Structures are given as C-alpha cells and as structure tokens.
Amino acid sequence: MIWKQTIGAASAGAMVASGIMAGAMVLTVATASAAPPIRFGVQAPITGPYADEGQGIEKAVRLLVEQQNAKGGLLGRQIEVTVCDDEGKPSQAAICARQLVNAKVVAVIGSYTSGAALAAEPIYAAANVLQTSDGTSNKLSEQGFKTWFGNAAPNSAEAEFTANYLVKVRGFKRIAVLTDHSSFATGLADEVVKNIDAVHGTVADKAFVNADSQNFTPVLTQLKSLNPDVLYYSGYFSDGGLVRAQMQQLGMDAVFVGGDANQNVAFAKIAGAAALGSVIVNVPAPQDLPYPAAKQFVADYKTKYGALPPSVFTLTNADGLRAILQAIESTKGTEPAALEDFLHHVKDFQGLTGTFAWNEHGERTGSPFVAFEVQADGGYKILYPEPAK
C-alpha cells in the first residue's frame, strides 16, 4: 500500500490504494499558500510486522510538521509530507525511494528497519535527498553516502556505554557475562567483552543460556563458583527476569546488569522480589526521557493521538527531522550540499533523546543510553548519567 497525503488536504481523498496504480500515481495536492511548499518524505513500515513503529514515525513527523506549519512554516513556506509504506521490506523500500525522489522531497524520515533503509539509501544518495533513519546496521554508514544521517546510536554504542559503566562508573572487578544464543545477544555480549577489555576491566567468564529453557541454575551455579561481583546479561527480558530470580535462589549476591532487551514490565514480574535493584542499560522509554523538550513532545503526541509513542525510535526519527528543520532554517535554503555540511558539523544538537552530533559517516555520536535501576514499585530510577535538571 502506497499513498501520499498532503497536510491540510482532505485525507481520505488523497489516499490512493496501491496495486494497480502503484508506481505511476503520486498525487500532489496544491496548498493554498503562494510560495511552493517544502516537501518531506516519510518512508516507514505503515503495514506489516513493524506497523506500530512505522505509524509512530509517520505520526511524529506529522505532529512536528503541523507544529512548524502553525508557526508559519519553514522559511515562510508550508511543509508537505509524503508518506510511502515500505512494509519493512527492502524490495518495497526501493520502490518507495523512487516515488519519494520523484515527489521532489528534500529529506526522508525513516525507515524503521535497517534492511529497508539500506535498500533505499543509494537511491536517495543519487538524487541528493537527505535520509535520516533509526537503522543501526553498520552497513548503512559504511556505504559512504553524504546523504545518510542515522538518528539512533549504532549497535556498538550500547556496549561501549555498558563497559564504561561497569568498569569505570561502578568499579566492578570481576564481571561475569551471560548471553543466550541469539545473534543479537551474542553480538552485544561479544562487544561488551571487547569494550571491557578496552577499559582494562576483568571478565571472569562468558557463559551461555538456552533462551526459553528456564533451567538456568546449572550455568548460574558455575558462575557463582567464580565469585563475580556483577553479572551482565545481554539476552531478553523473559529469560533475564528468570536469571535474576534464580541468582537469588542460588544465593548469588552479584549485582545484575541487563542489556536493553531486559527492559519490559514483565522483567520485574518474573524476577519477583529479586527485581529490586537490578540495573538495566537502555535508551529510556519516551515518557522517561529526562529532557523538557522530550516531555513536551511526548505530551503533545499523547494529546494528538491518544497514546504514547510506541518506542524511543519514534523520538530518534523525530530528532532526525528536527535537526534537518534546524539545518534548513540555519542555511536559509534547501540546498542539499549546504544542509549536509551543516548536519555533519552541528555541535551538541539538543535532541529529544539527548545531546548528539553526526560524524563524517553520518553515524550518530552521543549516546542516548542510560543505566536505570528497577524500583520497588516496578518503576525505573535513572542511575547514570545523572538526569539533567
């Protein structure tokens, strides 16, 4: 399903079902204002397994654009948004990219998945259209395209933050690393081990659990015999909560630190009383972001759509758009080369998800990660970095 919608136009009329009309039809509905509008594209999985996230990106973009237009638009021109549903599929993403390029957009927000962003990337680069996506695959920045601006921190950022937190901030001397066999968790665990070595920490052991097997006491017993002062678990919450509970069952008094996949309300439920004091490293949930601008955005989003943003990636994509809006205002134009230059050199951009910048490869520098502690009421308290006042 592909459609284009213009802010201010009757939305139902502008919706075009795909199928027969797909490639050829992109409607443009003229707005009332005299100056030609500035066009932004959204490439996101509006349908399919990531529909929730894709719709979040679209909603965030529409919210920010509506607010900007209400303030008189950008450089005195109204902003129009064209949305293309890539279904999270690379094949559909390439079609979307051509459609959005043909629609003469200045920049594209999205897509949600690295695969879809990667398929569209060369098409935007060839057409000199800026692309900002939460895709975190290293391939996205390795292509060397000037038009690429990743708005989520790369995969390596979490491991770097974690190692620094464990070794430097908390001063743990013997770190046990535990992972399941998924490529996500083993990748994260390997990176954490590498980063711990880099900051001269000591990994007592790296061990594995079989996800969903529930029977983690054998490996935890073995780890307990090594006397670690902290256990880092890189897998998912359903197993993480059980790992935490079984640590307590075995009388293992090491601190539990979990990777981002442990952040789920079920973690504390499964871990029970043992959840208290567990530490989880992740980008904070949208409503937990400590920055005033983020709180305002989340409140506006909730007022407009009646629900919270689906994930923090809604906000990182919003940050991508906010940075491009600022670039257009600062450079007083939509010349791609000037915008790219501005974005590559912007210092300390005050994002909704923390302060960040972009390096020459378009990778986000400045991680939004925080370490938070599970509280008695199941809530989270940010331990590090200290929340900005």
Interacting residue ranges for other proteins, rule: CB under 8 A: 181, 207-210, 212-215, 217-219, 221-222, 224-225, 238, 241-242, 245, 248-251, 253, 266, 269-270, 272-274, 276, 376
Nearest approach in angstroms of CB 384 to other proteins is 22
Nearest approach in angstroms of CB 85 to other proteins is 25
Nearest approach in angstroms of CB 214 to other proteins is 5
Residue placing its CB nearer to other proteins in the complex, 15 or 250: 250
Residue placing its CB nearer to other proteins in the complex, 208 or 305: 208
Nearest approach in angstroms of CB 280 to other proteins is 17
Residue placing its CB nearer to other proteins in the complex, 210 or 359: 210
Cβ-based neighbours of 204, under 8 Å, separated by 6 or more:
174, 175, 176, 223, 226, 227, 228
Nearest approach in angstroms of CB 172 to other proteins is 17
Half-sphere exposure of 96 (CA within 13 A, CB side): 33
Residue placing its CB nearer to other proteins in the complex, 21 or 376: 376
Nearest approach in angstroms of CB 223 to other proteins is 9
Strands (E), 56-182: 79-85, 107-109, 130-133, 148-150, 175-179
Half-sphere exposure of 361 (CA within 13 A, CB side): 14
Residue placing its CB nearer to other proteins in the complex, 143 or 217: 217
Residue by residue, DSSP assigns 166-201 as: IIIIS--SSEEEEE-SSHHHHHHHHHHHHHHHHTT-
282 forms beta bridges with 370
Distance CA 223, CA 217 (A): 10
Q: Is 381 exposed, middle or buried (0-12, 13-18, 19+ CB in 10 A)?
A: exposed
Q: Checking DSSP bridges between strand 349-351 and strand 354-358, what pairing results, if any?
A: antiparallel
CA distances from 154 to 59, 69, 158, 249, 369 (A): 24, 32, 8, 36, 11
Nearest approach in angstroms of CB 261 to other proteins is 14
150 forms beta bridges with 133
Residue placing its CB nearer to other proteins in the complex, 145 or 216: 216
Distance CA 248, CA 266 (A): 18
Residue placing its CB nearer to other proteins in the complex, 267 or 313: 267
CA distances from 171 to 14, 29, 174, 189 (A): 58, 60, 9, 19
Q: Checking DSSP bridges between strand 370-374 and strand 279-282, what pairing results, if any?
A: antiparallel
Nearest approach in angstroms of CB 182 to other proteins is 13
Report the candidate in 275, 292, 295, 298 with the shortest Cα–Cα distance to residue 373: 275
Nearest approach in angstroms of CB 217 to other proteins is 4
Nearest approach in angstroms of CB 230 to other proteins is 14
Residue placing its CB nearer to other proteins in the complex, 80 or 260: 260
Residue placing its CB nearer to other proteins in the complex, 93 or 209: 209
Distance CA 156, CA 339 (A): 27
Cβ-based neighbours of 241, under 8 Å, separated by 6 or more:
262, 266, 267, 268, 269, 270, 271, 275
Residue placing its CB nearer to other proteins in the complex, 63 or 207: 207
Paired tokens of 273: 């009383």
Nearest approach in angstroms of CB 183 to other proteins is 14
Q: Let me know: does 107 contact 40? Beta carbons within 8 Å.
A: yes
Residue placing its CB nearer to other proteins in the complex, 140 or 223: 223
Distance CA 121, CA 112 (A): 13
